[in-house]
Amino acid sequence: MNDDIAIRLSNVSKKYNLYNRKIDRLKESLHPLKKRYHRDFYAVKDINLEIKKGEILGIVGRNGSGKSTLLQLISDVLTPTSGKIEARGHISALLELGSGFNPEYTGLENIYFYSALMGYKRDQIDAVLNDILEFAELGDFIYQPLKTYSSGMKARLAFAVSVNVDPDILILDEVLAVGDELFRRKCYVKMETFLKGNKTILFVSHNSNTINQLCTRAILLERGALMLDGLPKDVTTSYQKLLFANEDEKSNVISDIVKNLEGCDSGEGLNCRNAGEGGLKDKISHTKNAHEKPAIYNEKFYIKGFVSTTVSIIQEKNIRIEDYWIEDRNGMIVNVLRHGERYSLKYIVYCVNNVKDVKFGAQIKDVKGVIISGANTKDYSGITIDRMQKGEMYVILYKFDCIMKTGNYFINIIVVASDRKSGVRVNDAIVFKVFPKDKINFVGYVTLGQVIDAIKIQ
């Protein structure tokens, strides 16, 4: 195995025997002709995967897709039915909240107990005990039995132990879904520190935004098989499309993902994600001529051919989006925005069948797919269309101030009805560039109009 590879899986499968009745297991074991009473179920099937040192690999997939089984195999909790797993370095795994803990032991006792299960000696834990206690921030609760802990307190303790024993490979299965925001921020900072130390992290989450934000690479699992491997933004887009598809559509979605596997963007890439907090204060205009998009382009701020190549419709039922574009203050179409100016996203919604309680929104994200801002009519402006009749059309106005730093950004468009089944979501509908209007220097994604000065007082 190459020196830069931390984990390698070669044709790894995990098979279980499923029986319709309990008695069938006994009948199979005693049958003189070895008659088969079970059916094979592959939790993981024929996985080939290499994970490099210094990578944060995000793992996504629907419930039952094999995510947790894969982590358990890599962690040596489970043994593969076939195939080979190679891992270089010490592995610290948080596979399930509270696993490896004894509920009768105190938090302090569990630190040593849990560490012993991971193969550490007492003197090794003594050396990092203060770091563990400081990270967990449990105070005097560290001397109380674990059974008195909340789920968030258990997460603090488990994560504090796992990251402070300085593993080479850290495996996290949804552990950041619990705990408060401050604790999660500490976890993110620690993971960033790990990356600088050329550590490897495997991270399972249902939160696509977190995957896009934290991970350098992602994979999509479906029915135990590795379906997609690539940039987080590409993988989470396919995951969302699969997640929101109804049962009749799922097979087609899977086929499309497999068909386009070769074409996944692995370069600079157009990314999908949620976006844009900024302006749904203007009421929705209802007009029969809403589909008449203005044909006037601001040639100075419009680049022909600069369009999103990763547009995807995640869900479309009873509602359709006809068109979308960005306008400047003069109503001209642009895709190059100047910092500090105000713009309008406009999109046309057509009602295919009658729907109730409809809300409209949009989201702006960066090239990694991380949400910059977003809003919808109901939550931001208190506007909901009680009933949309078949054949009706609406133009939605989403006004926002361009306060982002220079770079490329993307817009998602979302329409949702109260039944959660009707609606449409278009990921990466629009790509646009932000150019500075004047010379501005700031860090982060947006400027808050800050003023910084130095005043001599002596």
pLDDT in tens, 65-88: 999 899 999 988 899 999 999 998
Least confident of 50-59, 312-321, 427-436: 312-321
Q: Is the predicted pLDDT of residue 8 greater than 60, yes or no?
A: yes
Residue 2 has which token pair? Answer: 């190459």
Q: What is the pLDDT of residue 248?
A: 67
pLDDT of residue 261: 55
Write out the two tokens for 342: 């105000």
**Average per-residue pLDDT in the chain?**
83
Residue 427: what are its φ and ψ, rounded to 5°?
A: -85, 145
Outline which parts of the chain fall under CATH 2.70.50.60: 299-435
Token pair listed for 91: 């592995």
Q: Which residue has the higher pLDDT, 340 or 1?
A: 340
CA 222 vs. chain centroid, Å, equals 16
Q: What pLDDT does 260 receive?
A: 60
Residue 96's pLDDT is 67
Q: Is a pLDDT exceeding 50 seen at residue 278?
A: no
- Say what the pLDDT of residue 368 is: 81
Residue 272 has pLDDT above 50, yes or no: no
Grade residue 152 by pLDDT with cuts at 50, 70 and 90: confident
- The pLDDT, as a whole number, for residue 108 is 93
Is the pLDDT assigned to residue 298 strictly greater than 80? Answer: yes
Ranking 173-182, 205-214, 331-340, 385-394 by mean pLDDT, the lowest is 173-182
57 DSSP β-pair partners: 202, 217
The separation between CA 360 and the C-alpha centre of its own chain, rounded to angstroms, equals 22
As given in the structure block, the two tokens for residue 43 are: 């939790």
Calpha distance 409→75 (Å, rounded): 38
Task: Write out the two tokens for 201.
Answer: 């992290």
pLDDT value for 321:
93
**Better-scored residue on pLDDT, 381 or 192:** 381
**pLDDT value of residue 29:** 84
CB 227, CB 254: distance < 8 Å: yes
HEC string of 35-48 equals CCCCEEEEEEEEEE
Query: First CA to last CA across the chain, in angstroms?
Result: 64
Burial letters 118-149, b for 16+ CB under 10 A, else e:
bebeeeebeebbeebbebbebeebbeeebeeb
Q: What percentage of the chain has pLDDT greater than the value 70?
A: 87
Position 396 scores a pLDDT of 93
Res. 180 pLDDT band, cuts 50 70 90: low
* pLDDT top residue among 364 and 213: 364
| CA nearest neighbour of 425 among 333, 319, 348 | 319
d(CA 405, CA 198) in angstroms, rounded, equals: 29
Residue 320: DSSP 8-state: E
Q: Which helix (H) or strand (E) covers residue 331, if one does?
A: none
Residue-wise pLDDT for 374-399, tens only, equals 999 988 888 888 999 999 999 999 99
What confidence category does residue 176 fall into, taking pLDDT thresholds of 50, 70 and 90?
low
Q: Hey, what are 294's tokens?
A: 């203005």
- The SS3 call for residue 359 is strand
Residue 267 has pLDDT above 60, yes or no: no
Average the pLDDT over 229-239 and give the result: 88
Q: What is the DSSP string of 39-104?
A: EEEEEEEEEEEEEETT-EEEEEE-TTSSHHHHHHHHTTSS--SEEEEEE-S-EEEE-STTTT--TT
In a 13 Å sphere around the CA of 17, the CA atoms on its Cβ side amount to 11
The phi, psi pair for 153, rounded to 5°, reads: -70, -40
What's the average model confidence in pLDDT over 317-346?
A: 93
Instruction: State the fold for domain 299-435.
Output: Coagulation Factor XIII; Chain A, domain 1 (2.70.50)
Q: Where are the beta strands (DSSP E) in 76-216?
A: 82-87, 91-94, 169-173, 200-204
Single out the residue of 287, 220, 211 nearest to residue 257, CA to CA.
Answer: 220
pLDDT digits 0-9 by tens, 249-265:
667 777 776 666 544 44
- CATH 3.40.50.300 domain residues, the chain: 5-89+168-263
Q: Say whether pLDDT at 302 is over 80.
A: yes
Report which residue type is found at 152.
Answer: G
> Per DSSP, what are the bridge partners of residue 427?
312
The CATH superfamily label for domain 5-89+168-263 reads: P-loop containing nucleotide triphosphate hydrolases (3.40.50.300)
Q: Is pLDDT of 328 > 50?
A: yes
Return the closest-CA partner of residue 334 out of 292, 285, 299, 291.
299
